[in-house]
């Protein structure tokens, strides 16, 4: 059975349909949360942000013109809200758990060699990227956004999207190399 | 296998590898990448690195968990508060509100959402009638007919699907009638019109309704209404 499309749900939300809002929330809140928590690195803040994102969806549903996918529209709102939250929290008070996860792998090469786990190290280095690079890697690899959609969400030209992705991957390779994993690129 | 000799072309293809791995390239670009991968071992090796990154990014994100119920509770508490503050968002049967809703959704994409041609016709007609009412009352931000008048003589009408804004304007003008309420039914096709500001005898209302019914280009259905 085909589920109701996001666009239809937005149409219903524009008419004040709370049930449609619940369905849309159930469908997207986890992914939006993950996108935000990777940017703000603080779970409680990310929860506050996603409440604001979906409240904006409720308020602006009537103005949604369908020029992009609903998920793209929501991620663009989420990004804006997350960056605003970061500006309100300039010191970026990281969760202890998150802070541990982003420890510079080059700080402790001995422990890295002990692990000998390439997958774990790639994930650790992905966490250690800058917000700008984390964002683009997540949008492309996890949120499955096209070049055009990333350009819309981040607000940069399409060529810049490709260049930024290249440099994000290059930085990842550098972090891995510093941690003792040379992948022979770049 | 032959590597791509033109470096700029290889660089361009290489830049697309992340999107190729994620399956978000256009068919044309995906074919270009596939062709290049088939003829270039080094590019294929780099593509394996991209696939590795993609797998680990998914893994990382999937371990991030989900928000607590607090986020949803906060959201719906905020929505409740908004609804309490602005009742115009709540479902209503006043023409102004309904037409504003229709107009706000009249983008090409919204029309594409409508599952049936009938639904599209109703939307279009609502917009047409909104135009008529706005023109008639000179209200730039939409008609304000929240309180439908009770004095006078009335009829309910379903306008013909092909009727244009001009047709309906001319029709209403010819009979000195006004749209005062609607859409009345769930299908959104019936409108209440005022035939006269004073209460007319029943037979006179019957005559007017009969004449209006003959205007088949504009009127699909009409009946007198107390």
Question: Each residue of A133-145: pLDDT tens digit?
Answer: 999 999 999 999 9
Q: Does B111 map to a domain?
A: no
CATH number at residue B169: 3.30.70
Residue B7's pLDDT is: 78
Q: Are the CB atoms for B151 and B199 separated by under 8 Å?
A: yes
A167 touches B at CB < 8 Å? no
The total number of structural domains in chain B stands at: 2
Chain B: residue whose CA lies nearest to A7: B113
A59-75 average pLDDT score:
95
Question: Each residue of B39-58: pLDDT tens digit?
Answer: 999 999 999 999 999 999 99
Distance from CA of A110 to the nearest CA of B (A): 22
Backbone angles phi, psi at B223, to 5 degrees: -150, 145
Chain A (9-28) residues lying within 8 Å, Cβ to Cβ, of chain B: 11, 14-16, 18, 21, 25
**Of B12, B25, B69, B75, which to mutate for an interface test with A (greatest number of A Cβ within 10 Å)?**
B75
Rounded-to-integer distance, Cα A75 and Cα A84, Å: 14
For chain A, how many residues are written? 186
Q: Does B100 map to a domain?
A: no
Q: Is A89 helix (H, G, I), strand (E, B) or coil?
A: coil
CATH code of domain A1-95: 1.10.1740.10
Contact A141 B22 (CB under 8 A): yes
CB neighbourhood size of B135 (10 A): 14
Backbone angles phi, psi at A49, to 5 degrees: -65, -45
User: Residue B57 belongs to what domain range?
Assistant: 7-62
Q: Which DSSP letter does residue A2 get?
A: P
Tokens of B51: 């696939």
B186-214 average pLDDT score:
81
Q: Does B89 map to a domain?
A: no
Rounded-to-integer distance, Cα B137 and Cα B130, Å: 10
Chain A: residue whose CA lies nearest to B50: A169
Question: Each residue of B201-214: pLDDT tens digit?
Answer: 888 888 888 888 88
Q: Is B179 helix (H, G, I), strand (E, B) or coil?
A: strand
Give the percent of chain B with pLDDT over 70: 66
Q: Does B76 map to a domain?
A: no
**Of B110, B116, B123, which to mutate for an interface test with A (greatest number of A Cβ within 10 Å)?**
B110
Q: Does B214 map to a domain?
A: yes
Backbone angles phi, psi at B28, to 5 degrees: -65, -50
CB neighbourhood size of A130 (10 A): 10
Rounded-to-integer distance, Cα A28 and Cα A13, Å: 15
User: pLDDT class for A99, splitting at 50, 70, 90?
Assistant: very low
Nearest to B180 by CA among B144, B208, B141: B144
Backbone angles phi, psi at B145, to 5 degrees: -120, 40
A102-180: CATH, from 2.40.50.140, 1.10.10.10, 1.10.730.10, 3.30.470.10: 1.10.10.10
Rounded-to-integer distance, Cα B183 and Cα B191, Å: 5
**Of A38, A46, A51, A58, which to mutate for an interface test with B (greatest number of B Cβ within 10 Å)?**
A51
Contact B58 A142 (CB under 8 A): yes
Distance from CA of A102 to the nearest CA of B (A): 12
DSSP B45-111: HHHHHHHHHHHHHHHHHHTS----HHHHHHHHHHHHHHHHH-GGGS----HHHHHHHHHHT-SHHHH
With residues binned 3-state (H G I as helix, E B as strand, rest as coil), the percentages for chain B, rounded to 5, are 55, 10, 30
- Domain ranges within chain A, ordered by starting residue: 1-95, 102-180
A60-82 average pLDDT score:
95
Rounded-to-integer distance, Cα A68 and Cα A4, Å: 17
User: pLDDT class for B82, splitting at 50, 70, 90?
Assistant: confident
Contact A126 B53 (CB under 8 A): yes
């Amino acid at each position: 059975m085909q589920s109701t499309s996001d666009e239809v749900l937005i149409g219903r939300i524009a008419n004040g349909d709370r049930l449609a809002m619940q369905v849309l929330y159930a469908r997207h809140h986890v992914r939006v949360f993950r996108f935000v928590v990777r940017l703000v690195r603080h779970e409680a803040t990310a929860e506050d942000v996603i409440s604001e994102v979906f409240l904006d969806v409720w308020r602006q549903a009537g103005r949604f013109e369908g020029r992009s996918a609903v998920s793209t529209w929501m991620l663009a709102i989420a990004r804006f809200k997350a960056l605003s939250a970061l500006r309100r929290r300039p010191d970026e008070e990281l969760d202890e758990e998150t802070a541990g996860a982003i420890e510079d792998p080059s700080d402790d090469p001995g422990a890295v060699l002990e692990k000998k786990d390439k997958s774990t190290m790639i994930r650790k280095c992905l966490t250690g990227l800058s917000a700008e690079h984390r964002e683009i890697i997540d949008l492309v690899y996890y949120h499955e956004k096209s070049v055009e959609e990333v350009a819309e969400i981040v607000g940069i030209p399409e060529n810049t999207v490709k260049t930024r992705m290249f440099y994000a991957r290059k930085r990842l390779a550098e972090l891995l190399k510093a941690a003792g994993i040379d992948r022979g690129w770049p | 296998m032959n590597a791509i000799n033109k470096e700029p072309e290889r660089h361009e293809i290489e830049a697309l590898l992340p999107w190729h791995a994620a399956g978000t390239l256009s068919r044309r670009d995906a074919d270009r990448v596939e062709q290049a991968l088939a003829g270039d071992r080094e590019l294929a090796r780099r593509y394996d690195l991209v696939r590795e990154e993609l797998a680990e990014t998914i893994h990382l994100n999937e371990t991030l968990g989900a928000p607590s119920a607090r986020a949803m509770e906060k959201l719906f508490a905020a929505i409740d508060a908004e609804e309490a503050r602005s009742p115009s968002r709540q479902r209503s049967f006043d023409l102004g509100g309904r037409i504003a809703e229709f107009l706000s959704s009249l983008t090409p994409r919204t029309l594409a959402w409508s599952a049936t041609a009938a639904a599209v016709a109703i939307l279009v007609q609502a917009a047409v009638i909104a135009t008529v009412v706005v023109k008639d009352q000179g209200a730039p931000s939409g008609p304000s007919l929240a309180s439908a008048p009770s004095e006078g003589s009335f009829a309910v009408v379903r306008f013909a699907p092909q009727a244009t804004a001009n047709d309906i304007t001319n029709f209403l003008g010819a009979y000195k009638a006004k749209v005062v309420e609607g859409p009345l039914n769930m299908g959104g096709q019936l409108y209440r019109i005022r035939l006269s500001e004073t209460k007319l005898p029943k037979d006179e209302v019957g005559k007017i309704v009969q004449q209006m019914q003959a205007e088949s280009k504009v009127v699909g259905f009409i009946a007198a209404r107390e």
